[in-house]
């Protein structure tokens, strides 16, 4: 329970309204109750400023005049809303100590200040730092390092040689450090190429549910600090992802590709192997990157969605597109062009 | 072991043939043994009616004349075949009670009629109803509800604030209620937006293996009743999926999108965030929906698969398509068009 | 620790250099230390032969002259490098026996030479052969068979009726034998079609992290020998994949499709159900196969990635492509064509 004045002071916001008003939570403009704080980050919702029941609204100065009730003026309304929302987040208690059902290798080192949940396994030579929370059912293999204040929510696997920095958050079902997909073809069969490297995850990274990050073949797969991966992302061996890059669900990055800093990769996008992606590149949803992207900017592939009947006619023409272009050249009297 | 007459009577089918014949299982028309029942649902297989060795065939009236052996005439052959097949399904015994290796929070409530398997964890304030079967290795976090007769096959995670209706079936590796992907960018780094909502799953839903359904940021992510999700689907925070919608493997739905009732989303399709999809919309395999679909019907994006040599020529022309269209306009004497 | 002469003799390579040189590991040409062996498999790196610090380089005869240091001449440098690398791979000890925390059904049969790790579950009537290693947190359901020398790394699920041949390697989070996605629509709701078949995995297959392979509806889902699946692949019920086929991450194959031998399916590709794919077919990244592919060769769908501004113009024209083609026909005086 906080007052509007408390919240304004804590986060350096300018309050225009009743500082004594009690706040018990947060909500959207459309659904906030009179005891909750709302926010405006997306201009599409500006008209809701006039109708919201929220106790107060976090807004930019330029939008403040549209509000009919109390406002908290912010330089970055979405970020300040996130900070306010965190006041109302319930955190489960995860006391230091090892649950009796956990199985810890004799030569693993678990700090007295770490929490190891039920049914966890920690393998040979692995180290768990103070403040780390290893939730139920996690498996940490050999030669792993979990840094201070990391949180593995539940059922996370760190297979082999995975080193996490500080404050890394990993959601259930994620698998880090499994074998990269390395195969040599020899005499009619596949021969497995040993995957001798590891995975290095920088401070403040977040890894989504059921995401997989393979360990390097030679050398490591690397996420620099503050990389944010959503659910069901696949990161191949020896990929390197630059700091502050965010990747949405179901994207996939093939082996040895290097992605720059501050990139945004949308959901379902694919990047083939051995590419270089510059800093501040944005890749569209379900787009496939097949060559280096050396300049910042937004890149897209694919075709627009259409009713099937229309799509079918257009798609058939795509299959003859080169021929169509040649005919146009002919009409223009330009002869063949390749 | 059942007779044809028993089966006809049980499911209200019209038998033309030997009611005393013993049936011991089911099979495809091509592979059924003389003690098994087959079915015809797909007209492509109609010619097999004449050659099948099946004890009897479940068919629509219009196809019955093509069969040379015994038939069970049905209004909906595939559905009645499913009902017959269920007679021969082996169900493992999952007796009520809590396995001694399971770890149950002191304030969780597990009904005496629920089964909790080995190595499960049930967190604070969660409730498990009568008839629920929680298979081995499941993790149920805080403030979850598992309704009557639900079945979590094995290694399912319900992270936080997940409420399941009755008879929900969840396959291994699925993760419900993990944090949505909410990030605010502030001063060069990402700030996590607390995910304060939950997940609500209606009665009779099915969730496939390794599928992920994030909990809402504010408010809940919702599946209405009888929604069927295949494997490896990603459902973002605050998505709502209407009743009786079925989604095939590897599809992904980004945050806050609303999908109607009776929709069919094919495998690998993507739907970006904040969209509205009407009832009875069908989306093609690997199609990307980037705007609202307000009318029922089938929608597709993408290009046809071709031999690489042909594709490469056509794809290169796609990259110049606007230019090509302008040249055609010029040829037609229409000038520029935008 | 090995000498160059030892390594040459062991793998049948021709050494040109100092046989007494000590080797302690392997590395890339760019990063190998003077005690490590490097290799050249991709001609793009040929110039590094002159600058590498490696103790020796595994090369084809045709490239040997480009090396300035010691060489090991090989008929297949990548395969021989893989064999050499395996000398330096550290294998954890997995002694025969059942961890006391594992829960084994009374009628399961675990060979005395198998290893069952902590928190595993083995269900009714399942059999685990000698030499098999079942890592921590695996769940093996009913009626499964794990062949000799298989390795389930950790947290693998074999749901029901999954039979593995010899030496199958399965990475964490994989789920084999879950219910196929079989539904019959009846009177406004979905009716589940029982999935009565199983999964059969041939010798020497590898299954990636978080990959899912559903069991058959009637009959089995089958991988023949030496099939290699990367991470997060979805294989639907009753699919059959031919021997020596390799499939990269996030690909998906819908139900009842048959893929030939020696196929290569790139990352994120999709294949719809009930198709036949011939031997030695290659499918491009994120391509969608919608019809049978009866001839070997490489097949691709999709459009090239472009800067968004260019892409948007071209994509808009795709939506009018049929109309454009008709106008060109008209210009050519060909009239309508369909």
Q: Which of C24, C58, C86 is the last residue of a domain?
A: C86
Q: Which of A294-298, A325-329, B207-211 has the lowest mean pLDDT?
A: A325-329
Residue range C14-22: average pLDDT?
96
B59 shares its domain with B109: no
Q: Name which of B119, B123, B270 is nearest A286 (Cβ-Cβ).
A: B270
In this complex, the residue of C210, C246, C325 whose CB is nearest that of residue A175 is C210
Residue A51 has pLDDT above 70, yes or no: yes
How far, in Å, are A23, A37, A156, B86 from residue A12 at the CA level? 17, 16, 38, 63
Per-residue model confidence as pLDDT tens digits over A242-273: 999 999 999 999 999 999 999 999 999 999 99
- Asked if the structure places residue B336 within a domain, the reply is yes
- One domain for residues A117 and A61: no
A319: number of Cβ within 10 Å: 16
Is residue B91 domain-resident? no
**Each residue of C189-203: pLDDT tens digit?**
999 999 999 999 999
Is the pLDDT score of A81 beyond 90?
yes
More confident residue, B17 or C330: B17
Q: Do A140 and A110 fall into the same domain?
A: yes
The string of DSSP letters for A244-310 reads T-EE-TT-EE-TT-EE-TT-EE-TT-EE-TT-EE-TTEEE-TT-EE-S-B-S-EEEE-S---EEHHH
Q: How is residue C319 written in tokens?
A: 């939506």
d(CA B182, CA A284): 18
Six token digits for residue C279: 């031997």
Q: Considering only CB atoms, which chain B residues are within 8 Å of A149?
A: none
Average pLDDT over residues A156-174: 98
Q: Is there a contact between A209 and B183 if contact means CB atoms under 8 Å apart? A: no
Least confident segment among A66-70, A301-305, B292-296: A66-70
Residues A179 and A73 both lie in one domain: no
Give the residue on B whose Cα is nearest the Cα of A311: B300
Residue of B2, B237, B274, B291 with catalytic role: B237
CA distance B283 to chain A (A): 9
Alpha carbon separation from A113 to A95, A98, A109, A132, C174 (Å, rounded): 8, 10, 12, 8, 32
Candidates A283, A244, A290; CA nearest to A267 is: A283
Altogether, the residues listed in chain C come to a count of 338
Where residue A80 sits, what CATH number does that domain have? 3.40.1390.10
Q: What is the maximum alpha-carbon separation in chain B?
A: 83
Three-state DSSP class for C224? coil
- Site from C175, C266, C296, C315 to mutate, B interface, most B CB atoms within 10 angstroms: C175
**Alpha carbon separation from A127 to A215, C89, C92 (Å, rounded):** 18, 21, 17
Query: What is the band of A330 on the pLDDT scale with cuts at 50, 70, 90?
Result: confident
- Interface size B-C, in CB pairs within 8 Å, comes to 225
Cβ of C79 within 8 Å of Cβ of A185? The answer is yes
Res B90: pLDDT: 86
> Who's near C250: CB < 8 A, 6+ residues apart?
A234, A250, A252, A270, B250, C230, C231, C232, C233, C267, C268
Confidence label for A187 from pLDDT (cuts 50, 70 and 90): very high
Structure tokens at B21: 């014949």
For chain A, how many residues are written?
A: 338
Examine the pLDDT at C78 and tell me if it is beyond 90: yes
Residues of A designated catalytic: 237
Phi, psi torsion values for A83, nearest 5 degrees: -65, -40
For residue C93, give the nearest of A102, A123, A196 by alpha carbon. Answer: A123
3-state secondary structure (DSSP) of residue C101:
coil
Q: What is the pLDDT of residues C152-165, one digit of tens each?
A: 999 999 999 999 99
pLDDT at B6: 96
Mean pLDDT score of chain C: 96
Contacts of residue C331 in chain A, CB cutoff 8 Å?
Answer: 331
> How far apart are alpha carbons B232 and B250 in whole angstroms?
5
* Surface-to-core class of residue B313, CB atoms within 10 Å of its CB (0-12 exposed, 13-18 middle, 19+ buried): middle
**Rounded average pLDDT over B257-267:** 98
B218 pLDDT more than 90 = yes
- Do C59 and C187 fall into the same domain? no
Considering the domain architecture, whether residues A47 and A117 belong to the same structural domain is answered as: no
Answer whether residue C113 shows pLDDT above 70: yes
pLDDT at A336 over 60: no
Helices within chain C (DSSP H only) = 4-11, 61-64, 77-86, 308-318, 321-331
Say whether both B102 and B231 belong to one domain.
yes
d(CA C148, CA C151): 9
pLDDT exceeds cutoff 70 at B336:
no
Give residue for tokens 């649902």.
B41
Selected for mutation to probe chain A from B255, B301, B309 (highest A CB count within 10 Å) is B301
Contact: B196, A117; criterion CB under 8 Å = no
Chain A with chain B: Cβ pairs closer than 8 A:
224
- Quick check: is B92 in a domain? no
Same domain, A54 and A181: no
Give the H/E segment covering residue C163: strand C162-164
Quote the strand ranges of C236-318, DSSP E: 240-241, 246-247, 252-253, 258-259, 264-265, 270-271, 276-277, 281-283, 288-289, 297-300, 306-307
| Cα separation, B115 vs B110, whole angstroms | 9
Range of the domain at B259: 97-299
Whether the predicted pLDDT of B331 surpasses 90:
no
Instruction: Report how far residue C213's alpha carbon sits from residue C225's, in angstroms, rounded to the nearest whole number.
Output: 15
Q: Which helix (H) or strand (E) holds C142?
A: strand C139-142
Give percent helix, percent strand, percent coil of chain C, each to the nearest 5. 15, 30, 55
Q: Which of A64, A86, A108 is the last residue of a domain?
A: A86
The A157-160 sheet, strands edge to edge: A103-104, A121-122, A139-142, A157-160, A175-178, A212-214, A234-235, A252-253, A270-271, A288-289
Residue B306 belongs to some domain of the structure: no
B335 pLDDT higher than 70: no
In a domain, B28, yes or no: yes
Instruction: Tell me if A154 and B157 make a contact (CB, 8 A cut-off).
Output: yes
Continuous segment of H or E residues that includes residue B328 = helix B321-331
Neighbours of B260 (CB within 10 A): 21
Q: Is residue B211 part of a domain?
A: yes
Question: CB C173 to CB A236 under 8 A?
Answer: no
How many Å apart are CA B272 and CA A22, to the nearest integer?
37
Interface test with B, best of C212, C269, C292 (most B CBs within 10 A): C212
- Whether C237 sits among the annotated catalytic residues: the reply is yes
- Within a domain: B305: no
CA–CA distances in Å: residue B8 to residues A128, A173, A258, B32, B33:
63, 45, 63, 19, 19
Report helix angle A321-331 to A308-318, nearest 10.
Answer: 70
Is the reported ipTM for this assembly greater than 0.85? Answer: yes
- First-last CA distance in chain B: 72
Give dist(CA A150, CA C186) in Å, integer.
49
Of residues C8, C15, C56, the one with CA closest to residue C32: C56
User: Could you give the number of structural domains in chain C?
Assistant: 3
pLDDT (tens digit, 9 = 90+) per residue, A10-47? 999 999 999 999 999 999 999 999 999 999 998 889 99
Cα(first)–Cα(last) distance of chain C, in Å? 72
Claim to verify: residue A143 and residue A279 sit in the same structural domain = yes
pLDDT at A338 over 60: no
Coil, helix or strand at residue C54: coil
CA dihedral B52, B55, B58, B64 (to 10 degrees): 70
pTM over 0.95: yes
- Per-residue model confidence (pLDDT) at position B337: 52
| Residue B334 pLDDT greater than 90, yes or no | no
Look at residue A121 in the predicted model and tell me its pLDDT: 98
Q: pLDDT of B100-119, one tens digit each?
A: 999 999 999 999 999 999 99
pLDDT value of position C316 = 94
Nearest CA in chain A to B284: A308
In a domain, C226, yes or no: yes
Extract the tokens encoding B260. Answer: 């109607």
- B194: domain CATH number is 2.160.10.10
For chain A, how far is it from start to end, CA to CA, in angstroms? 72
Q: Do C292 and C313 share a domain, yes or no?
A: no
Calculate the dihedral angle through the C-alpha atoms of A252, A258, A263, A265, rounding to the nearest 10 degrees. Answer: -10
Rg of the Cα atoms in chain A: 26
Nearest to A143 by CA among A130, A125, A156: A125
Q: Which residues lie closer than 8 Å to C169 by C-beta, 6 or more apart?
A: A179, A192, C150, C151, C153, C205, C206, C207
Contact B256, B272 (CB under 8 A): no
Please check the confidence at residue C114 and state whether its pLDDT lies above 90.
yes
Chain C residues lying within 8 Å of A194, measured CB to CB: 82, 85-86, 88-89
Domain check: are A24 and A156 in the same one? no
Chain A neighbors (3+ CB pairs < 8 Å): B, C
Q: Are residues C132 and C36 in the same domain?
A: no
């Amino acid at each position: 329970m906080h007052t509007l004045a408390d919240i304004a002071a804590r986060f350096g916001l300018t309050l225009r309204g009743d500082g004594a008003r009690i706040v018990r939570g947060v909500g959207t403009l459309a659904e906030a109750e009179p005891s909750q704080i709302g926010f405006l980050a997306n201009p599409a919702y500006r008209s809701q400023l006039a109708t919201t029941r929220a106790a107060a609204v976090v807004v930019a100065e330029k939008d403040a005049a549209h509000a009919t009730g109390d406002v908290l003026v912010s330089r970055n309304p979405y970020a300040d809303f996130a900070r306010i929302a965190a006041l109302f987040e319930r955190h489960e208690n995860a006391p230091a100590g090892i649950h009796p059902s956990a199985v810890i290798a004799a030569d693993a080192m678990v700090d007295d200040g770490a929490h190891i949940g039920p049914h966890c396994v920690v393998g040979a030579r692995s180290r768990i730092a103070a403040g780390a929370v290893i939730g139920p059912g996690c498996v940490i293999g050999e030669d792993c390092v979990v840094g201070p204040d990391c949180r593995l929510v539940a059922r996370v696997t760190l297979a082999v040689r995975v080193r996490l920095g500080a404050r890394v958050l990993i959601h259930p079902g994620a698998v880090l450090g499994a074998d990269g997909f390395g195969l040599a073809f020899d005499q009619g069969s596949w021969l497995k190429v040993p995957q001798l490297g590891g995975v290095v995850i920088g401070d403040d990274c977040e890894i989504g549910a059921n995401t997989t990050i393979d360990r390097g073949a030679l050398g490591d797969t690397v996420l620099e600090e503050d990389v944010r991966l959503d659910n069901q992302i696949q990161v191949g061996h020896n990929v390197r992802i630059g700091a502050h890059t965010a990747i949405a669900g179901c994207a996939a990055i093939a082996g040895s590709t290097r992605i720059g800093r501050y990139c945004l990769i949308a959901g379902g996008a694919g990047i083939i192997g051995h590419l270089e992606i510059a800093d501040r590149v944005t890749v569209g949803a379900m787009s496939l990157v097949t060559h280096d992207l050396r300049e910042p900017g937004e890149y897209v592939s694919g075709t627009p969605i259409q009713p099937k009947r229309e799509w079918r006619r257009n798609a058939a023409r795509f299959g003859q597109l080169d021929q169509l272009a040649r005919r146009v050249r002919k009409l223009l009297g330009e002869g063949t062009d390749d």
